[in-house]
Structure 1
């Protein structure tokens, strides 16, 4: 069976500047893979390359066994949902309209969204607990609420693969928990998820595997507790192992690692 998404000997960057190289990994159906790495390490560049928004400097990205560059963009948009980091937006669309944009690849070129499209958009908003914002202006709501709207927009695409760039970064504690719970539900439903995060505890909670990106290469990839160890995270982020263990809670870490 072909991998849902696969990178082979992949080099990424901007122009002639290489950010990371020799990247090899694949996602299986229903897997949640979390990518950890310091700021500027290439996480967002990697996601944009995997999505075909940036051309690889070398190597290949394939989705469902086909080179991403060969996919018709409308078909790719139906297959892969993307949640970027929250942004302010430029136009005064309602939140419902922003989420409806996720239906664009499933609506005819000259067709308006149907009642079914609107039902799906509202269901996605309600699923994330922000259905009451449907008529609010997207540019007037908080950064955390905008992030939830972007997640709802991606879910409205009904994708097989969901790519999320730091989906909890601008959320308060309660909404972080809600998003993590939803990712767990998506995994249980068989959706494949690739996400970046700066919070190892989030990755440890939801991931089937964790990948560490640093120093221009994929440092490690594997089972969560075997990969995101205090020693590995200390080296990745340039802090002491004791500080990492204290932040994560060493007693809880040890208990979970032995479970």
Structure 2
């Protein structure tokens, strides 16, 4: 719903705007599903889901002026809420959200005269990120086996401040990212490649060996500890971890 009074003008600024809006949409469709679900009451008027540059989101009526300052998201997402399975409805909203994100980014590109090379660079930067749909549905490979593939024991853990190869007993049922190999150790490059393919189920960013991660025992997706507000100390007392999305779904059922 925000205007373009401070519109981005460079490829980097447009991409930063894209990432902020994308993060807000992913938050609505994964971390704050219950709140989003309640706001999309089919009894209300046509509603849209907006991602904001500051990584926030809102459900609101479409703007009144025609044409709008920015491309508008899909209209009336609330009407389909009770007519289909929740996961299918969220997937549908995610697909439309991806389309909207691209339209906003390339609207800025057109408005500020991006040339062929700039448009290509912008698309490549965007394409390096998983789509909102991929994050919401888990179709991007976020297998719990990827971070644990190079760990001899699935019951060892490591956070960013632990020394490489140091193993500590892990709470039963809780899977946490493994230590990385030391420099010069064989297979290091292959390990880093596989770790890089693992994406956070909340923000969609890549795995990094210096960050604390935790795996949901229900959907088996990995999350940054900071994204789901879990610290290594808290993880010590969790027997079975459920991410916010799985917890809210279970509570609603």
Q: Do the two structures share a fold, i.e. TM-score over 0.5?
A: no
Q: Which has the higher contact order (CA 8 A, sep 6+)?
A: 1
TM-score (norm 1): 0.28
TM-score (norm 2): 0.28
Instruction: Return the structure number with greater strand share.
Output: 1
Which structure has the larger Rg? 2
